[in-house]
Structure 1
Amino acid sequence: VTFERIAEQEPAAADLLKLIVFLDRQNIPEELLTQSNLPGMDNPIEFRTAIGKLIGFSMITKKRGDIPVYELHRLVQQSIREYLTADEVTHWRNTALEVMWRCFPQYKHERRHVCSLYLPHALAVTKGSVYPIDGSLYYRMAVYLFSAGSALHDLRRYEEAEDIYRRALEGTGKNVGPDHPSMYHIMSNLALTLNELGKHDEAERLLRRVFENSLKVLGPDKPETLRMMRNLASVLHGRGNLIEAQSLNQQALKMTSKTLGPEHCDTLTSMNNLATALRGLGQYEKSEEMQRRAVEGRERVLGRKHPDTLTTISNLALVLEDLNKYREAEELHRRALEGREEEALGSEHSMTLLSAHELARALRDLERYEEAEEMQRRALDGRERLLGPEHPDTLDSIYNLALLFQKQGREGELEEMNRDALKRTEKAYGPSHPDTVRCMYNLASVVYRQGKHVEAEELYRQ
């Protein structure tokens, strides 16, 4: 009865509510409604009249905050959906789908908050959908999820990204076929997601397939083919296939420089990747030279505080550590930390915490133990909050803090830290994992030095 009164008094408000019930019922952005293309909703006065009518009849509520968002009661959502005829359900579900397809933004770091706000609504309108949908919506959703997973090192985000990428493949594949070039980028990103989830075999197989298809269909010098080459090299590097990874990175750098120019972003990415591969092979001087070129190029093209520039600076610092150039490495780690913290990512981003962790290690190598401990505790505290107590990055900070105590001969704190490391590592990986065994050995060594020989023997036997 209430809905019928709204429809009679303010038809635009009734239509707006019909759209809203097919979105997620919480945190509905006002921007999404004003850009819905419903008649009059782009007019501020007409929108306020319509939304005010819905609020007045307690259909929706407006939440307080910096960004105007609305909330729909669960029973209202259910009741309106049941009230609509089958044809109306089809029409308004498709309308909601079209609105999300049009409004969900291409992922950029500075737009990540908008993507985060829109994502639940995109998931709501696509869940169980049997209606035609452009695969680009799935793709944009998946790119955001993958980027969020990278930022947070969040396994759940990667799992969601995998699901959405597969749906993007299915949706696009129905229109263009499974081996169409428009599928390559989706397949490549799916492979990178699988790699982050530890599905390395499937990731490598998929990337090899995409790369080979791209070579045949597009040719060896096309940017898309070169991107596939770099991605395959990255996965191979992570799997320890360093020689093939180096070869692919060298080819990618040569071809990208030739086709796009020496200072194109893709060329500089290839340069950074090749430098990383050379470091993995122990060719530190060559890696340093290549990484310096990549830093200089990215500074000119992207700016000194762009996230990609800061990544290259951090990579250069790592190879300088390998060459025992600790003071310059410290300076670069500080620059990466300050840039990520103040300009690019924020103090709680995983890459900012990685910079703090790496700076702490450089300070330890310089025997500036007090500064190193302060920085490592900052990294550990941040990672515990962001990632959880048993995340691999959190454990890495604990291991390095224990090593710092060992360097200073702080046996009591070292024992406590090693016990904590063993407890967390065993919980994360199980009792037989190599990292757990290493933690047992480290603790055994500490308690043996303290004269606790019975406990040490038991740990050594385990």
Structure 2
Amino acid sequence: MADPVSAVGLVAAAVQLTELAVKVVKRISDFNSTIKQTPKAFQEVQIQLPLIIESVGRIKEQTDQGLLSDSSRNAVYAVIEACQHDTRLLDKLITELLPNSTDSIRKKTLKALTSLTHDKEINKITEALRNRTYLLALHKVAKDGIEPLQSPEPCEPFWLVPFDRNVSFVGRHEIFEKINEAFIVPTGSQSKAALTGLGGIGKSQIALEYCHRRREQNCECSIFWVNAATVAQFEESLNNIAVMCGLVARNSGQAEGASLVQPWLEFRHQGPWMMVVDNANERDIVFNQKMRNGKTPWQCIPRRNGTLIFTTRSYELAYDLARPSRPIYIPLIGEAEGVELIQKRLGLGFPKNLMIELLEELDHIPLAITQAVSFMIKRRIDIPQYLERFRKSDDTKMRMLDYEFIDHGRTAESPESVAKTWELSFNSIREDNQKAADMLYLISFFQNHGIPERILRSEDDDEFDFEDAMTILSDYSFVNADNTRVRFHTHSLVQHATRHWLRSQGPTEVTAWRLTALKSLAREFPEATSHPKQDYWETCEILLPHAESLLAYDFKKSEQDIQLERARLLNSTGRYIHWIGRYSDGRKRFRTSWDIRKQYLGEAHVDTLKSMGLYVWALSFQGEPEAVEPGYRLLELRQEILGPNHADTIDCLSDLATALAKTNQYAESIKFHRDAVSRGIAHLGINDLDTLNCQNALASTLMDVDEYQEASEIYKEVYEIKKSIQGPDHPDFLVIESNFALCLVGLGEIPRAIELNQHCLASKEKVLGIDHPETIISAYNLGDLYFREGHREEAIKLYDRIIDGCEAGLRRETVDGKEYLDLIRRRRRPISYGRLPPLPE
């Protein structure tokens, strides 16, 4: 064994190291003055050497007072010698790189730039000094040092978690399984898991419950909790650990304690340990901002041995903190767990369906549920009373979301309301990327599910800017994408909060962004058409919920641009909902659109005529006599503005003819129909879909006057042409097939009529749905034929199937659906298909 180092020898070594370190620090400062900026490789040295000087000074004091044992002097002496070696190497490098006073400016600059090539060598020395700084700090004693502090060897594990167990915690079993899976790593690797998700989703509560379960499973494991919401809170947490674990005295500075926890856990702690780094939400705080010891929080998180759990709202940050482990995304609380949470906090006295209703209103967000329960208990109200208030208005909802309360497991500095919790994330997004904030504003005015990318992007949007913005929103869990990443969804409560933030920025902001959403949707919603293609149905189905949300809003200001965008969207949506069987609603929209355009654009504007034409068509479709007068006026205007042979003029002529038939003016009706067909063939072509529709309308009216033979000849020709152009399952073709079958009935060709009706019904069920009015009519007519042919049981079976399907269908509440379903129930006579417009695809 080596001889013990004498006190005199240790003091001498300490003095030599101090002098050398002071010299090097000064030379680095001089070097800096030469090139106006310290090279990056030297910046860490400027932090470490002063810490070494301070530690060595205290060791010298302890030695002079005889407070160090022989073993301690030996250990400290070895570290000081190693520090001297490293510092001499630095001094030598600086000597080679530091310009002389006689050097020219060019030579001084060249020498300074040469220093950049030594970064790797300097970094290696700096890393060694950093480790020696920790070792010196671990052997120091308190300034008043009566008793030396020894590096602790705990007799029992530490439990430094600032919260007791949450007795209301429920479920989340799958999350605990994922955490356990993340902790399975190869020998020598550190176990890490990062919980990420929307603020208030329960990340900290899950981490807290996991701590208690870990303690139960392994009583030898030390468990620590660190708050990383701010640099100051992180530093305070580390300092508290250092004090409680005996690394520093209570009156030591935070800079000392924060520096000691990492090396102690990595090298000196005996037994297993786990640390929760909670609220690591800001990348700048974790990786860039520095504590008083000159280090960032990331540099002070132990990365050897032990187990780490991070909680963060940022998915991207979660990945960086816990890689190579994938972030564990925390979903909304499930129905069963949500009911159990309400019961634990509120009691068992409420029906399950009422608690589920509350869950759905609060988007299954745990913090919102806890907040609502707190509100109810303090205000002494029950769930129905809470829901009544919550649904009263957006302002009332926001006030309730902003209600402050004390939540279990949240620090005193944390916001204690849903609104304030999200506001922290929102402010961070706005500071980081204004485009992302703008996207959140826009999203808040659509339905919260299935928001397509096409209505979020403008024509001049840069692709990468858009992707960056949506990534940030997804990163904070405000917005999530589907698997294709072309449709997004958010939480309705997030939308309410976003609109609230918009109002706080100015009284006109909400209206301005709502108008932006309206314009985007009106631009993307397919225009009204009589011959939709396949993508029309899919696009309209996706966009309709968002259109309904915007059209339901009462724009109190009646600026022209707002109203004209509404008129455009009313036209487009009105045509689609008519296709899907909501006839009355579609007609109302056409009327409103016509009124708006007539007010702002005038009666003769082409856009006004489009709305007017749709309204006249819808009236004639429903057999309303009022269609005749505006029909004549529309025909007059279109002939004057568009010309007598324009497709819209020919279409108007056919619609007017249909309206005349509804008022029993058959002679005039057939005359107009023949004129429309003649113009269509001459100017649009015999195979044009509008021409074919005019022929269908003519044949339908001919059947009304029992001219079945001529009608059948027209149908035969139109049937074959449409079948070849549109296919046998196209809804527009199915109109012809239905009418042709009805015409054959009039001619007595029942077997062929049954065959066509069977195909037509099967196709309509597939394309339109069993509860669509057109499907119901086809079912009635086929059943009527079964009755005629004596197949009563088959007819009854068909009718019962349709009735059951309609009662469970999506359209069961629509007026039009109920009206046509009554026809089947009453077994009325077949309906003339000639009175129906072209069907939707």
Provide TM-score, normalisation by structure 2: 0.43
Decide whether aligned partners of structure 1 residues 128 and 53 sit closer, same or farther in structure 2, where only a CA change above 3 A counts. farther
Opposite residue 49 of structure 1, the aligned amino acid is T
Partner in structure 2 of residue 70 of structure 1: 490
CA deviations over 1:178-205 (Å, ceiling 9, x no partner): 213343222110223345677532x322
Shift of 1:252: 0.5
Matches within 5 A, 1:69-218: 69-73=489-493, 75-86=496-507, 88-89=509-510, 91-106=512-527, 108-123=536-551, 127-131=555-559, 132-133=561-562, 135=564, 138-153=567-582, 155-167=584-596, 169-170=597-598, 174-175=600-601, 177-195=602-620, 200-201=625-626, 203-218=627-642
Shift of 1:226: 0.4
Decide whether aligned partners of structure 1 residues 79 and 134 sit closer, same or farther in structure 2, where only a CA change above 3 A counts. closer
Matches within 5 A, 1:356-371: 356-371=779-794
SS at match of 2:827: helix
Shift of 1:25: 5.3
Q: Given that residues 525 and 572 in structure 2 are in contact (C-alpha distance below 8 angstroms), is that contact kept between their aligned partners in structure 1?
A: no
* Segments ≥4 residues shifted beyond 6 Å: 63-66
Q: Given that residues 152 and 387 in structure 1 are in contact (C-alpha distance below 8 angstroms), is that contact kept between their aligned partners in structure 2?
A: no
Shift of 1:286: 1.3
Mapped partners of 2:505, 2:589: distance in 1: 31
Partner in structure 2 of residue 427 of structure 1: none
Partner in structure 2 of residue 349 of structure 1: 772
Mapped partners of 1:389, 1:36: distance in 2: 35
Mapped partners of 1:123, 1:257: distance in 2: 40
Mapped partners of 1:154, 1:186: distance in 2: 15
Shift of 1:156: 3.9
Matches within 5 A, 1:258-407: 258-342=682-766, 344-384=767-807, 385=809, 386-388=811-813, 391-400=818-827
Decide whether aligned partners of structure 1 residues 126 and 295 sit closer, same or farther in structure 2, where only a CA change above 3 A counts. farther
Opposite residue 468 of structure 2, the aligned amino acid is E
SS at match of 2:580: helix
SS at match of 1:69: strand
Structure 2, unaligned stretches of length 5 or more?
A: 1-422, 529-535, 831-841
Opposite residue 540 of structure 2, the aligned amino acid is R
CA deviations over 1:335-366 (Å, ceiling 9, x no partner): 21222234x33444332232222111111111
Match of 1:234 among 641, 658, 662: 658
Q: Given that residues 305 and 339 in structure 1 are in contact (C-alpha distance below 8 angstroms), is that contact kept between their aligned partners in structure 2?
A: yes
Decide whether aligned partners of structure 1 residues 62 and 281 sit closer, same or farther in structure 2, where only a CA change above 3 A counts. same
Q: Given that residues 741 and 753 in structure 2 are in contact (C-alpha distance below 8 angstroms), is that contact kept between their aligned partners in structure 1?
A: yes
Mapped partners of 1:255, 1:356: distance in 2: 35
Provide TM-score, normalisation by structure 1: 0.75
SS at match of 2:686: coil
SS at match of 1:152: coil
**Which structure dedicates a bigger proportion of its chain to helix?**
1
Mean Cα deviation higher: 263-272 or 191-200: 191-200
Mapped partners of 1:188, 1:98: distance in 2: 23
Opposite residue 567 of structure 2, the aligned amino acid is Y
Mean Cα deviation higher: 207-216 or 274-283: 207-216
Decide whether aligned partners of structure 1 residues 129 and 96 sit closer, same or farther in structure 2, where only a CA change above 3 A counts. farther
CA deviations over 1:153-180 (Å, ceiling 9, x no partner): 453454344334433x24xx634x3213
Q: Given that residues 284 and 323 in structure 1 are in contact (C-alpha distance below 8 angstroms), is that contact kept between their aligned partners in structure 2?
A: yes
Mapped partners of 2:506, 2:653: distance in 1: 52
SS at match of 2:755: helix
Shift of 1:274: 0.7
SS at match of 2:678: helix
CA deviations over 1:412-441 (Å, ceiling 9, x no partner): xxxxxxxxxxxxxxxxxxxxxxxxxxxxxx
Q: Given that residues 776 and 821 in structure 2 are in contact (C-alpha distance below 8 angstroms), is that contact kept between their aligned partners in structure 1?
A: no
Q: Does structure 1 residue 225 correspond to structure 2 residue 649?
A: yes
The structure having more radius of gyration, on CA atoms, is 2
Shift of 1:218: 2.8
Mapped partners of 1:234, 1:115: distance in 2: 32
SS at match of 1:353: helix
Decide whether aligned partners of structure 1 residues 362 and 180 sit closer, same or farther in structure 2, where only a CA change above 3 A counts. same
Mean Cα deviation higher: 276-285 or 68-77: 68-77
Partner in structure 2 of residue 407 of structure 1: none
Mapped partners of 1:12, 1:136: distance in 2: 24
Match of 2:449 among 4, 11, 27: 27
Mapped partners of 1:209, 1:271: distance in 2: 23
Q: Given that residues 593 and 611 in structure 2 are in contact (C-alpha distance below 8 angstroms), is that contact kept between their aligned partners in structure 1?
A: no
Mean Cα deviation higher: 147-156 or 269-278: 147-156
* Percent of residue pairs identical: 22
Decide whether aligned partners of structure 1 residues 208 and 54 sit closer, same or farther in structure 2, where only a CA change above 3 A counts. farther
CA deviations over 1:30-79 (Å, ceiling 9, x no partner): 42464246866665741442212552xxxx46598995422331641442
Shift of 1:317: 0.6
Mapped partners of 1:389, 1:53: distance in 2: 41
Q: Does structure 1 residue 49 correspond to structure 2 residue 471?
A: yes
Decide whether aligned partners of structure 1 residues 145 and 183 sit closer, same or farther in structure 2, where only a CA change above 3 A counts. closer
Shift of 1:230: 1.0
SS at match of 1:261: coil
CA deviations over 1:118-153 (Å, ceiling 9, x no partner): 313442678345342584663343232233134224
Mean Cα deviation higher: 85-94 or 71-80: 85-94
Q: Given that residues 35 and 103 in structure 1 are in contact (C-alpha distance below 8 angstroms), is that contact kept between their aligned partners in structure 2?
A: no
Mapped partners of 1:79, 1:389: distance in 2: 35
Decide whether aligned partners of structure 1 residues 91 and 389 sit closer, same or farther in structure 2, where only a CA change above 3 A counts. closer
